[in-house]
């Protein structure tokens, strides 16, 4: 995106809403500018009346006016900053909400292409820089520009010749800041990348902490952490170093200006063109102008950081889903929940070849159908296509003679529940995890599905029963307990189609028996498609599809396949040997 496009977008979507507060902050900035300028101006009568003419009539008035000027400056500065802090935090929240909202609603394939740690870095690191651009930079622009104008006015009123000499510093500082600003933008992008790598690493670190301990890789991970932290440190150090490079430039320019002014003022005083009181008032105004000139000089760097961050955030917010409701999409009406795959082709990436190659499947409503095949054969892909986590490149999926691509996504997914081997739970109470299947469920319904899924057996032994917090992804529960909880959640949804992805493949016999009983209740009279490695699941299936390299090799009941399918027979015999 071009800079002008980014500016327009940030104003339209974020700053415009708070324009009244920004204007209020600008009004306070005018008071800051006026009071700062009056401080320099008051030095003229103070020196002339009190010290040169020794006039005692203003001995109380001038000090009181100086106190008033400083007080006005302090209060105005406080209210200007407080107002923009409020604006900044509101904008930050809106940016983060828009990004999170986009990520929640975005297609699964988009999330799969980028590590969650990098999204987290965008959400924290980048948003902070955009907030600085839309709050601190705006305040600096108003406050310091107006203050500089006020002080320059004082300087010209005292002596226009000296003022012309002093303003040479402004373009010189601006040129230096512009060059440093370009450097800041580049380094800020590099720093964000390193921040993303660090966040990604930390997510992996916490997720795999048991693995690290069992393989005794603590020292290796400490070294990796040190490397990531060192890289981010170096980039942040570069950013801060670029910022402070302006200090010696400004100090040197100021030194030259003061020296030249003293020299030239001496000449003017000798000719009687300037008085000592005019000179000190002018010098005070010039020294006070140092701070706004410095701030305005660094403003370009803050802007570049913000624009660089916005160029990464806005595409995420604007991400368009490829999986959408078609024109004139209608709600899916379920009668028997028969599911058919018709000549369906699918690839995750076109260049990688077909994951599913012209497959035709029939899943009978109210019955259980198993998918059998080697890892990577395409079983999970078939499950993921039914709720439209992904869309096929060609072919169709039909439920009760209705194409899922012509049905609304909401009505389609509303009829589907999924239970996977990789159980996903929230760091919340057991009750809330079960109610995730249906938020308006009553406590009695929660207790009922907990009983049907055999969750009540372990819940009654927990300290807070249904109000027990289960930790990140259910870390405080066993594998079987987590699986039963996910079954309870699916039961709560009361959907007509159940997808089971190896739901019992890694459990002991006793736990599996309970889960199988729970699954029988869950899948009773429901269209159930199961990726099965366990014999009990396969034998109970109404139909079995044998899949190999994205193609349907055979299908039928167990007895038929034992005779007709060599691949299935080998698969079955390996199960017996386990």
Q: How far apart are CA 332 and CA 323, in angstroms?
A: 16
Three-class secondary structure of residue 463 per DSSP:
coil
Residue pair 435/470 in contact (Cβ under 8 Å)? The answer is no
Per-residue burial over 314-324, b = 16 or more CB atoms within 10 Å of its CB, e = otherwise: bebbeeeeeee
Mean pLDDT, range 315-336, rounded to an integer: 85
The predicted model gives 356-363 an average pLDDT of: 88
C-alpha pair distances (Å), 523 with each of 227, 252, 369: 50, 80, 11
Which among 321, 235, 31 is positioned nearest to 147, based on CA atoms? 31
The pLDDT confidence band at residue 483, using thresholds 50, 70 and 90, is confident
Percent of the chain having pLDDT more than 70?
A: 88
Q: Which residues contact 463 (CB under 8 A, 6 or more apart)?
A: none
Rounded to the nearest integer, the mean pLDDT of the chain is: 80
Average pLDDT over residues 315-326: 83
Contacts by 423-427, CB closer than 8 A, 24 or more apart:
423/473, 423/474, 423/479, 423/482, 423/483, 423/485, 423/486, 424/473, 424/486, 425/470, 425/473, 425/474, 425/477, 425/482, 425/485, 425/486, 427/469, 427/470, 427/471, 427/472, 427/473
- Under the banding of pLDDT at 50, 70 and 90, the label for residue 169 is low
Is residue 372 predicted with pLDDT exceeding 60?
yes
Question: What stretches of 238-367 adopt beta strand conformation (E)?
Answer: 339-346, 356-363
What is the per-residue pLDDT for 507?
Answer: 53
529-542 pLDDT, tens digit per residue, is: 888 766 666 777 88
Higher confidence at residue 459 or residue 250? Answer: 459
Q: What does the pLDDT average to over 554-560?
A: 84
Tokens in use for 7? 């500016």
Q: In the predicted model, is pLDDT for residue 72 greater than 80? A: yes
3-class DSSP assignment, residue 489: helix
According to the model, what pLDDT value does residue 24 have?
92
How sure is the predictor about 178, in pLDDT bands with cuts at 50, 70 and 90? low
d(CA 486, CA 450): 10
99-110: b or e for each residue (b if 16 or more CB lie within 10 Å)?
Answer: beebbeebbebb
Domain architecture of the chain: domains with CATH: 3-317 (1.20.1560.10), 326-415+497-509+524-578 (3.40.50.300), 422-494 (3.40.50.300)
Tokens read off for 10: 């940030």
Which has the higher per-residue pLDDT, 275 or 380?
A: 380
The CB density around residue 224, as the number of other CB atoms within 10 Å, is: 14
**Size (the chain), residues:** 578
Structure tokens at 402: 């209705």
- In order, the DSSP letters of 177-240 are HHHHHHHHHHHHHHHHHHHHHHHHHHHHHHHTHHHHHHTT-HHHHHHHHHHHHHHHHHHHHHHH
Using an 8 Å Cβ cutoff, are 130 and 304 in contact? Answer: no
Q: Summarize the confidence of residues 159-179 as an average pLDDT.
A: 71
Residue 126 pLDDT greater than 70, yes or no: yes
Higher-pLDDT residue of 188 and 409 is: 409
Contact present, 312 and 99 (Cβ < 8 Å): no
In whole angstroms, give the CA distance from residue 311 to residue 297.
Answer: 23
pLDDT score of 75: 92
Tens digits of per-residue pLDDT, 94-124?
888 888 888 778 877 777 776 667 777 777 7
Place of tokens 């002596």: 159
pLDDT at 284: 77
Q: 330-367 b/e with 16+ CB inside 10 Å = b?
A: eebebeebbbbbbebebbeeeeeebbbeebebebbbeb
418 - beta bridge partners?
Answer: 499
Q: pLDDT tens digits, residue range 258-279?
A: 787 778 778 777 777 777 777 7
Q: What is the pLDDT of residue 246?
A: 65
Average confidence (pLDDT) over 395-417: 89
| pLDDT tens column, 181-226 | 666 666 767 776 777 777 777 777 766 666 666 667 677 777 877 8
Q: Is the separation of the CB atoms in 151 and 306 below 8 Å?
A: no
Place of tokens 């009654």: 460
Q: Give the model's pLDDT for residue 552.
A: 87
Among candidates 570, 448, 578, 468, which has minimal Cα distance to 518?
Answer: 448
316 pLDDT exceeds 70? yes
DSSP, res 414? T
Q: What gap in Å lies between CA 308 and CA 312, rounded to an integer?
A: 7
Range scoring the smallest mean pLDDT among 10-14, 451-455, 478-482: 478-482
More confident residue, 247 or 13: 13
What confidence tens digit (pLDDT) does each residue in 456-469 have? 888 888 888 888 88
d(CA 147, CA 15): 23
Asked if residue 364 lies in contact with residue 525, where contact means CB atoms within 8 angstroms, the answer is no
Task: Report, as an integer, the average pLDDT of 30-44.
Answer: 85
């Amino acid at each position: 995106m071009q800079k002008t496009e980014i500016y327009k977008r940030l104003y339209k979507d974020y700053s415009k809403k708070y324009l009244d507060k920004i204007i209020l902050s600008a009004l306070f900035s005018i008071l800051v500018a006026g009071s700062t300028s009056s401080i320099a101006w008051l030095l003229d009568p103070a020196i002339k009346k009190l010290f040169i003419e020794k006039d005692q009539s203003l001995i109380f008035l001038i000090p009181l006016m100086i106190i008033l000027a400083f007080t006005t400056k302090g209060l105005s500065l406080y209210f200007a900053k407080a107002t923009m802090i409020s604006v900044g935090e509101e904008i930050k929240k809106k940016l983060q909400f828009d990004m999170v909202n986009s990520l929640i609603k975005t297609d699964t394939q988009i999330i799969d292409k980028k590590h969650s740690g990098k999204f987290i870095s965008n959400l924290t690191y980048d948003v902070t820089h955009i907030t600085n651009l839309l709050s601190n930079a705006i305040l600096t622009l108003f406050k310091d520009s107006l203050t500089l104008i006020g002080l320059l006015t004082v300087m010209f009123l005292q002596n226009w010749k000296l003022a012309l000499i002093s303003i040479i510093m402004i373009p010189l500082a601006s040129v230096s800041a512009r060059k440093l600003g370009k450097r800041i933008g580049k380094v800020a992008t590099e720093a964000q990348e390193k921040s993303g790598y660090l966040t990604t690493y930390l997510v992996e670190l916490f997720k795999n902490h048991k693995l690290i301990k069992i393989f005794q890789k603590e020292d290796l991970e400490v070294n990796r952490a040190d490397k990531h932290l060192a890289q981010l440190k170096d980039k942040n150090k570069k950013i801060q170093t670029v910022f402070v490079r302006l200090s010696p430039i400004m100090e040197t320019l100021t030194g030259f200006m003061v020296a030249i002014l003293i020299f030239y003022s001496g000449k003017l005083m000798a000719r009687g063109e300037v008085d000592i009181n005019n000179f000190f008032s002018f010098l005070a105004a010039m020294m006070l102008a140092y701070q706004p000139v410095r701030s305005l000089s660094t403003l370009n760097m803050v802007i570049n950081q913000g624009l660089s961050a916005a160029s990464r955030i806005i595409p995420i917010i604007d991400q368009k889903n490829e999986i959408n409701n078609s024109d004139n999409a209608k709600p899916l009406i379920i009668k028997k929940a028969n599911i058919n795959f018709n000549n369906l082709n699918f690839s995750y990436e076109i260049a990688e070849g077909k994951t599913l190659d012209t497959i035709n499947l029939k899943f009978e409503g109210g019955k259980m159908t198993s998918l059998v095949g080697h890892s990577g054969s395409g079983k999970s892909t078939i499950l993921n296509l039914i709720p439209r986590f992904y869309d096929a490149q060609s072919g169709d999926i039909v439920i009760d003679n209705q194409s899922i691509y012509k049905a609304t996504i909401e009505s389609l997914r509303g009829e589907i529940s999924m239970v996977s081997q990789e159980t996903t739970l929230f760091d919340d109470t057991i009750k809330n995890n079960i109610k995730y299947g249906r938020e308006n469920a009553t406590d009695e319904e929660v207790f009922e599905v907990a009983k049907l899924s055999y969750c009540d057996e372990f819940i009654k032994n927990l300290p807070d029963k249904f109000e027990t917090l289960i930790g990140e992804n259910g870390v405080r529960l066993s594998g079987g307990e987590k699986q039963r909880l996910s079954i309870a959640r699916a039961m709560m949804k009361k959907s007509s189609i159940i997808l089971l992805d190896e739901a019992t493949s890694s459990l002991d016999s006793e736990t599996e028996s309970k889960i199988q009983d729970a699954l029988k209740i869950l899948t009773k009279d429901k269209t159930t498609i199961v990726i099965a490695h366990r014999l009990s699941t396969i034998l109970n299936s109404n139909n079995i599809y044998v899949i190999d390299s994205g193609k349907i090799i055979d299908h039928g009941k167990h007895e038929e396949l034992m005779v007709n399918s060599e691949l299935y027979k080998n698969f079955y015999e390996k199960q017996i040997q386990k």
